[in-house]
A and B are shown apart, each in its own frame.
Chain A
Amino acid sequence: MTLDYAGATTKYEPTLGLEVHVELNTKSKMFCGCATEFGAEPNTQTCPVCLGLPGALPVVNAKAIESSILIGLALNCSIAPYSRFARKNYFYPDMPKNFQTSQFDEPICVNGYLDVEIQTDEGQKVFRVEIERVHMEEDTGKSLHVGGATGRIHGAEYSLLDYNRAGIPLVEIVTRIVPGTGKYAPQVARAYVTELRDILRSLGVSDVKMEQGSLRCDANVSLAPIGSGKLGTRSETKNVNSLRSVERAVSGEIERQANRLEAGERIIQETRHFLEESGQTRPGRSKEQAEDYRYFPEPDLVPVTPDAKWIEELGTRIPEKPSVRRKRLQTQWNCPDKEMESLVNAELLDVVEETIKLGAEPTRARTWWLGEISRLANEKEVAPTSLITSKDVAEIIALIVGGDLTDKLARQVVEGVISGEGSASSVIEKRGLKVVSDDSALMTAIEAAIAAQPDTAERIRGGNIPAAGALIGAVMKATGGAADAAKVRELLLKHLGRG
């Protein structure tokens, strides 16, 4: 009998461990001046250093150190007063020197934590994920496999190597094992990676695009019978390319391991690969014996000893934690959960906050950005923030609130700004889009409407107030929407002796 997920977690206690690799968004590589742009022509962003040519030597990118320290500080780590690079020796064709310049026993940041909140059966609950270390290393090149029936590597006739990615700075963030998550292990894993991604984005140190590989997650999972107090043998699942996959990979692995244990089989310590389609994992490269990486201090580089003043200065640049900020803004704006989620997903939090800071009323600011502006952005397949500034939006909202623009006119202003006619105020001026609030101008239009529909006017005079709609509509049409409908109604009814 096979166990389903619920069955698996009723019998077994999962233990989680997560390793996240982050590609930093420095302009140049970790140890040389080659550009780091994604998608360049093959082998056009390489040099003697990142190709591992004989004689080439590395020099550390200062920005990468700075970004690593920022990450450490944001994750509540201690910044090591002395840290070093080491060589991790193993042969692989995508690694030009056949050693990876990494950090071993002297990483730049240690002992941090990240609290994540998830929804449980008992309500919102916070799990603390402890960070063991944050260390710096370099990325490898990319291989392409040619020939063979399936295109899979085992059928490949040869491989092609592109080293553009080789030497791009990577930061690896390693958690301690996370015990006690029980059946929530998959959600905790996802919440951790999500929160981490948001923090990295708020720090501005990485593009954090999982689909492009600038954020990669390896999930370690082990199981032990509940109450045994033991730790089981773990597997390490790689190739987890989205937040949803993180959750699926962990739950899939829990199910797989539970069923093996149920069948009396052993869990093998191995690397596994997540399969996006099935949500299952498959075994990866089997190692005949444990690799011996023969780490030793990198003799071509000198130690990193950041002084306290620098660390302190970097500390002042750590922004508010994204989850804390979200909560604060939600309360301030009195924003429903669903809408908040939409703002976060659409990456509109910053711009809405700016718009509100410029004096816009919170509800209107959210509605405009999520509604009309997002709709237009969708049509054009661009980011909403690339269409219009928070200043223009704030100005438009202020005019709406002040009665100078109707919603309809405002949409025209937005459209004008987007089509490049200038700022909100200049569009209003050029197109003459102000609400007509001059009573005599409105009266002329009202009289014209009455003259055109005498029967309707007569009915209103007779007490049929709802009939006013038709005349108000005619006035609005005549003024091109540039009238305040409430004002028109007031003047019309008064004029017909019903005011």
Chain B
Amino acid sequence: MTTIYSSATEMAQALSKKDISSVELTKLHLDRIEAVDGKVHAFLHVDSQGAIAQATAVDAKRAAGEKLSPLAGVPLALKDILAQKGVPTTAGSKILQDWRPPYDSTVVAKLKAAGVVILGKTNMDEFAMGSSTENSAYGTTQNPWDLTRTPGGSSGGSAAAVAAFQAPLAIGTDTGGSIRQPAALTGIVGVKPTYGGVSRYGVVAYSSSLDQVGPFARTVLDTALLHEAIAGHDERDSTSINAPVPQVVAAAKKLDVKGMKIGVIKELGGTGFQAGVSQRFNEALELLVAGGAQIVEVSCPNFEYALAAYYLIAPSEASSNLARFDSMRYGLRVGDDGSKGAEEVMSITREAGFGKEVKRRIILGTYALSSGYYDAYYGSAQKVRTLVKQDFEKAFAQVDVLVSPVTPTTAFKIGEKSNDPVAMYLSDIATIPVNMAGIGGMSLPVGLAPEDGLPVGMQIMAPVMQDDRFYRVGGALEAALLSKWGKPLLSNIPELGGM
């Protein structure tokens, strides 16, 4: 029987066999959201009407015998950073309160075309700046594994929704780890595709040269199906790669790593990493060896500068990307009492509409780009980017994929790091190099840390446009873990009540 605990693949099969209708499946999820979102707070906006309407349309097409996409009728949660026509899109910011875009992002258009049912918009750190959803202007999302902890971020709402069975699929964005880190902290699969693999058109920009849209799901195959549904060239995005989408679904089904060379990055592990994280990571490596893969240690000496470079590049681009929020054309307007000029109203609105972290990064970015400091900061950061890229190139010359833990620790307590920005930034230390180089990476759950019972993620990275490689490794490792555990990791998640 199909339930909210089924995988997306199972749901799709049940739909195609007409064992369940999309409307029924959608209602199951809307009920689940109703029941548990008070505790999780994964959603900022639930579009019940729109979702039912989409589901009804898919059911009608199916009844008429039309050929449908593999995921037609399956529900999905959308990060609130993607423009969806007529549906509130806030990017977690007060400055975009009540903004309803007059257009669809390319990813949303593709989802609609594929018949995927969009349940609503999920919570996130404001403008994707953060690693915990604590920077959302609309409250923090709780980790379904432990409601006193964060689900990670910035795509924390999407990850929590999938982990809490509010949606089998979700879309996130990843600028420095914003898909992989929350996936790891909530025990689900998350993928940051190769930069340019998925269109950024209609995605509220944080850092244009780093941002990438990607899928979340509870299994590798589900993730691959969603990846294929949203990937591909888009003429509206000049940085979209005009090449065939890697065969990720086929790779996810391969379940075989025999003969593959897997590189463990020396610099991303050991000191500074929680014992249980390292333990589960190493156990997963053993499973890969047992599956016939060869493990090689590789060194990426410049990764230690990546975090610093990221916190110059991303804020610099953000300071420019966020300049458009000025209260003239859309969004919040504060202080327009008839006595003030446009310039003053802009400044007052931006003060009132942006949260603390956003302002911090805008000021930092403004500094890094300003004349006299550009070369020392932004310029130097771009050189580090070159070095990080070269480290990856050298490493991939020796191995097929690279692996590391996704995060140094399991999910941290809400409030634990919110007053120490630099400590918060450190949680992205293992994920940032991937964005700097524009390659793709997957976060795969590999167990629960013995000391706290919270999920641990392994990061699997592949060269540009070789995303199929991490799906292959991820699929095989997932199967090995499942046979070791006898049941999925998420079956250990505490019951949230409701169903």
Contacts and interface: CB of A to CB of B under 8 A. Distances in A.
Contacts of A96: 324, 329
B237 interface: yes
Contacts of B328: 93, 161
A55 B323 contact: no
Contacts of A161: 328-329
Nearest to A89: B320
B205 A55 contact: yes
A213 B191 CA distance: 50
B428 interface: no
Nearest to A52: B324
B326, B338, B374, most chain A CB atoms within 10 A: B326
Contact of B238 (A53, A60, A87, A93): A60
Given A52-B329, A89-B323, A57 B237 contact: yes
B114 interface: no
Interface in A275-296: 292, 294-296
A87 B316 CA distance: 11
Contacts of A301: 238-239
Q: Tell me which of B83, B96, B342, B374 has the highest count of chain A C-beta atoms within 10 A of its own C-beta.
A: B342
B343 A157 contact: no
Interface in A297-340: 299-302
Nearest to B316: A296
A87 B205 CA distance: 15
- Chain A interface mostly helix, strand, loop or mixed? loop
Interface residues of B, number: 45
B294 interface: no
B371 interface: yes
Interface stretch (B101-109, B118-126, B389-397, B398-406): B101-109
A316 B374 CA distance: 41
A53 B330 contact: yes
A58 interface: yes
Interface residues on A, range: 20 to 34
B201 A296 contact: no
Most chain B CB within a 10 A radius of its CB, from A51, A57, A87, A302: A57
Residue among B91, B200, B205, B323 having the largest count of chain A Cβ atoms under 10 Å? B323
Given A55-B83, A55-B101, A294-B366, A98 B238 contact: no
Given A54-B91, A57-B200, A98 B324 contact: yes
Contacts of A294: 319-320, 366, 369-371, 374
Interface in A49-67: 51-60
B431 to A, nearest CB: 19
Contacts of B208: 299-300
Given A55-B82, A159-B342, A300-B208, A99 B200 contact: no
A99 B201 contact: no
Contacts of B89: 54
A48 interface: yes
A391 interface: no
A91 B105 CA distance: 26
Nearest to A290: B371
A273 interface: no
B320 A55 contact: no
A56 B103 CA distance: 10
Nearest to A302: B238
B338 A157 contact: yes
Contacts of B83: 48, 53-55
Interface string B297-329: 000000000000000000011011001111011
B346 interface: yes
A411 interface: no
B16 to A, nearest CB: 33
A97 interface: yes
Interface in B82-102: 82-83, 89, 91, 96, 99, 101-102
A299 B102 contact: no
Contacts of A58: 238
Contacts of B101: 48, 53-55
A57 B207 CA distance: 13
Given A91-B326, A97-B323, A296 B378 contact: yes
Given A97-B324, A296-B320, 14 more contacts: A54-B204, A55-B105, A55-B202, A55-B204, A59-B235, A59-B238, A89-B319, A93-B342, A96-B324, A294-B371, A296-B316, A296-B374, A300-B205, A301-B238
30 contacts: A51-B329, A52-B329, A53-B330, A54-B91, A54-B101, A54-B205, A54-B325, A54-B330, A55-B82, A55-B83, A55-B201, A55-B202, A57-B236, A57-B237, A59-B236, A60-B238, A87-B320, A89-B319, A89-B320, A91-B326, A91-B343, A93-B328, A93-B346, A96-B324, A96-B329, A98-B323, A294-B366, A294-B370, A296-B316, A296-B374
Interface of A: 47-48, 51-60, 87, 89, 91, 93, 96-99, 157, 159, 161, 292, 294-296, 299-302
Q: Which 8 pairs show the lowest CB-CB distances between chains A and B?
A: A98-B323, A294-B369, A299-B208, A299-B209, A55-B202, A54-B204, A55-B83, A52-B324
